Amino acid sequence: MGIPIVQVDAFTSEAFGGNPAAVCVLEAARDARWMANVAMEMNLSETAFLHPEADGYRLRWFTPAVEVDLCGHATLASAHVLWSEGHLAAGTPARFQTKSGLLTCRQAGGWIEMDFPAKLEIAAEAPPQLADALGCEFSYVGRNQFDYLVEVIDEATLRGLTPAHHVLRELPVRGVIATARGSGDFDFVSRFFAPGAGVDEDPVTGSAHCALAPYWATKLGKTEMTGFQASKRGGVVKVRVEGDRVILCGQAVTVLRGELLA
């Protein structure tokens, strides 16, 4: 008998939007090389693997190229699968032990709330190739343990970015978060480029919002905001800053159920 695998579109209420992730719920831990091969085969920005551990689940995330330390959309997808596939009863929090510590997800009226660590950036000098790679000027550049965070002049500039991914790939970070002040229903907009991690542009990036939320909270003077990641697929991320934590809120839709035979 094969191993069930479920594909979920995260940070969206409709199929074929948001960010797709594969989720594999295992009975016990598996070899990291096997997980890396499955992620490469699925060829999505992230594939999540989880198995029961203590009072929750051990959760690991793999891109087609590397294992990562923190991933929002695949955590959202994993919690969605635990509830929708009957692994957890409705209303029971999903608890994940990860490389970034304990992450907890809760159902909240058709949305899923995720309790993540804030990833504060500090002002940084931009590498010379960063401006060339993005093809625009910045009003701010910062860096945290994972990424550069770059604020561009306006939303139109952000949406029009056509980065040179081969140049970004050489930067000594996971990726580059580009952001701008939003309009209408959205307090801020963003895009995320991570060619060095095997993903040229990630459709919707929960972990990037661990930096975006405190950054825009300071600039806008508010702790609850709604962000939109303006990739081709697009996705909505509601955020709430609570001290050194960020509550990320999103929706998810199952689009495929399958079985791993290898």
pLDDT in tens, 6-32: 999 999 999 999 999 999 999 999 999
Is 122-243 a CATH 3.10.310.10 domain? yes
Q: Is 137 a catalytic residue?
A: no
Confidence band of 84 (pLDDT split at 50, 70, 90): very high
3-state helix, strand, coil in the chain (%, to 5): 20, 40, 35
**pTM (two decimals):** 0.93
pLDDT (0 to 100) of residue 196 = 85
**What CATH code is assigned to 3-107+249-260?**
3.10.310.10
Task: Render pLDDT for 23-74 as a digit per residue (tens, 0 to 9).
Answer: 999 999 999 999 999 999 999 999 999 999 999 999 999 999 999 999 999 9
Which member of 14, 27, 46, 121 is catalytic?
A: 46
* 6 and 22 Cβ atoms separated by less than 8 Å: yes
Q: How far is CA 69 from CA 14, 145, 242, in A?
A: 28, 11, 21
Residue spans in the chain of domains classed CATH 3.10.310.10: 3-107+249-260, 122-243
pLDDT exceeds cutoff 90 at 139: yes
